[in-house]
Amino acid sequence: MNWDNIYKMLEKYTQYKHYQVLFENIGLQKRASREDMLKELHQEVAQGDLFGTLMPPEKLEEWLALHQIDGNNHTFVYHLEYHLTPRIIQELYSTRNELTELKLWDVDPDNDSEELPEVMPELDDIKLTGIHRNDEKRTHTFSFVAPCIITGSREDGASRLYKKMFFAHCVFLDGSKDFKVIFNPTSNLHNVNGVRKEKKHDWSPIANMIFEKVKTYIGNVQIKSPIWIPQALYEFAEDATNHKNEEINSEAFKAEKKIEGFSEKLLKEANIDTDKEPALLTRLIQDIQLSFEAQLLEVHGSNDNEEEFSVFQQRSDGLTHVISVESTQEGLVGSAAQAAKRSRQDGDIDMLGVNYKSNGRMYKFLVESGIDAYLIRGTNTFIEEEVVTIVVSRLNKYRGQIQAKTEYYSGNGEDASFIEAE
């Protein structure tokens, strides 16, 4: 165990919050700085042979490989066509020591040299650093490190390239077809193991590269495109922005017939034949209903104080509609919520900004649709991996509802108005 390299790596890549999570989990006294946390960790591992320790070397090795799974990360959620055979994962885990390609403490992370082949020569490909089992979460996690090249500058301001370590993880949940590819979106990225982003903010080629590496262990599995995500985001937004006030629902319901009659009369007075233009009538009715509900909301207020989830942003059809609020603590409310609702009716949602409130802390995510996987990414906030799992579970609830509706309409010989979830 090379502590010189461990110190260098943790000083370069590990946040204070990473130490906090570890120390809370194992019962170590937290310190005031990253430097003191690292010294305390070293001391705890070193004294193990004499007095027993909360952090034996094998546990340190696992934490080194795994701890970057928490942070301001990108999480790509894929969906397998078929379930993985449990035996495959179990056999991989039982032979993890033989499969591990690199110990992180064998890498000297100094990267000052501009001769990039001489920097971290052991890191010449994406390499497995461990396979981990968490019985409580029922997960197996594959941890990797890959070489990445970033752009930077010399002291004189001239541009140059640097080689860095790029940490990535793939998480499988027992009995689920979902799996997650997780990594931190390194700033000023040129490439990861030779693979570049397709666009400025499109990290899917990097995620797919990691998936291809995982397939060398689990076999040539097939995935399904998450075409259900726009509908799930719609349902998510509808629930999260619902005022949950029965008084408003009652008043809105009583006004429906009046609104329908008023809308038809208004269009006819404008010489519009509502029989020939039913879509115009439907849209006017919806707009008036939404406006009426917004006025009721201003008077009666909402009953959503205990809600875990709220929405702070949504995007429909790429860049066609963007509705957002600047507050970091509140979601879309009042007129902003009504504008967002109108936007949802005009086009598919391909991105939703979600607040999740837990234990007095607010987490902020962006959930985006994609071709091979959908993406959950933080907004400059340290987020534990299990919190992302809660968002995935909520989306899976909507996927199940969408699938059930699809099967119902198909089973009754009707045109299915919902896309197939599975």
Same domain assignment for residues 120 and 150: yes
pLDDT at 381: 78
Residues 115-137: tens digit of each pLDDT: 998 999 999 999 999 999 999 99
> For residue 335, is pLDDT > 60?
no
Closest among 71, 80, 170, 77 to 375, alpha carbons compared: 77
**Residues 161, 243 within the same domain:** no
User: In the prediction, which pLDDT does 261 show?
Assistant: 85
Burial class (CB in 10 A: 0-12, 13-18, 19+), 267: middle
Mean of the pLDDT values across residues 196-207? Answer: 90
Q: How confident is the model at residue 415 (pLDDT cuts 50, 70, 90)?
A: very low
pLDDT at 102: 95
Burial 369-399 (b: 16+ CB within 10 A, else e): bbeebbbbbbbeebbbbebbbebbebbbebb
pLDDT mean across residues, the chain:
84
Is the pLDDT at 248 greater than 80, yes or no?
Answer: no
Is the domain of 271 the same as that of 296? yes
Q: How far apart are CA 304 and CA 376, in angstroms?
A: 24
Domain presence at residue 207: yes
Judged against a pLDDT cut of 90, whether residue 61 lies above it is answered with yes
pLDDT for res 207: 96
Do 245 and 319 have their domain in common? yes
Q: What is the pLDDT of residue 420?
A: 39
What are the residues facing 141 on neighbouring strands?
A: 132, 171
| Residue-number span of the structural domain to which 63 is assigned | 3-67
Q: Which of 218, 247, 279 is the last residue of a domain?
A: 218
Q: How many domains does the chain have?
A: 3
> Can you tell me the mean pLDDT for 167-182?
95
Q: Domain boundary at 67, 87, 116, which?
A: 67
Tally Cβ neighbours within 10 Å of residue 340.
28
Whether 304 has a pLDDT exceeding 70, the answer reads: no
Q: What is the pLDDT of residue 240?
A: 79
Task: For residues 277 and 402, state if they share a domain.
Answer: yes
Instruction: Determine the pLDDT at residue 251.
Output: 73
211 and 237 share one domain:
no
Q: Is the pLDDT of residue 421 over 50?
A: no
pLDDT, tens only, 339-362:
556 555 556 788 898 888 888 888
Is there a domain that residue 197 lies in?
Answer: yes
- Short-list 387, 386, 353, CA closest to 367: 353
Tell me if 293 is assigned to some domain: yes
Beta-carbon neighbour count of residue 242 at 10 Å?
16
Query: Per the domain annotation, does 406 fall within a domain?
Result: yes
Mean pLDDT of 7-21: 94
**Which of the four pLDDT bands, split at 50, 70 and 90, describes residue 271?**
confident
Lowest-pLDDT range of 49-53, 71-75, 138-142, 203-207? 49-53
Q: Which two tokens stand for residue 404?
A: 């059930």
Confidence check: pLDDT of 269 > 90 = no
Let me know whether 262 and 392 are in one domain.
Answer: yes
pLDDT score for 294: 67
Q: Whole-model pTM?
A: 0.82
Q: What is the DSSP string of 250-302?
A: HHHHHHHHHHHHHHHHHHHHTT--TTT-HHHHHHHHHHHHHHHHHHHHHHH--
Average pLDDT over residues 411-419: 46
Would you say residue 224 lies in a domain? no
Q: Are residues 22 and 51 in the same domain?
A: yes
272 and 344 fall within a common domain: yes
pLDDT classification of 366: cutoffs 50, 70, 90: very high
Same-domain check for residues 283 and 402: yes
Residue 225 included in any domain: no
Provide the pLDDT confidence category of residue 419 given band limits of 50, 70 and 90.
very low
Cα 66 off chain centre by? 17
Q: Are residues 171 and 212 in the same domain?
A: yes
Same domain, 177 and 265: no
Q: Provide the pLDDT for residue 53.
A: 79
pLDDT range class, residue 307, cuts 50, 70, 90 = low
Residue 391's pLDDT is 92
CA gap 374, 376 in Å, rounded: 7
Average pLDDT in the 387-409 region?
86
pLDDT given at position 95:
96
Cα distance between residue 291 and residue 335, in whole Å: 9
The domain boundary residue, chosen from 218, 253, 286: 218
Q: Is residue 79 part of a domain?
A: yes
pLDDT class for 298, splitting at 50, 70, 90?
Answer: low
Q: How many helices (H) and strands (E) does the chain have?
A: 13, 11
What number is the average pLDDT over the span 330-341? 54
Query: Does residue 18 lie within any of the structural domains?
Result: yes
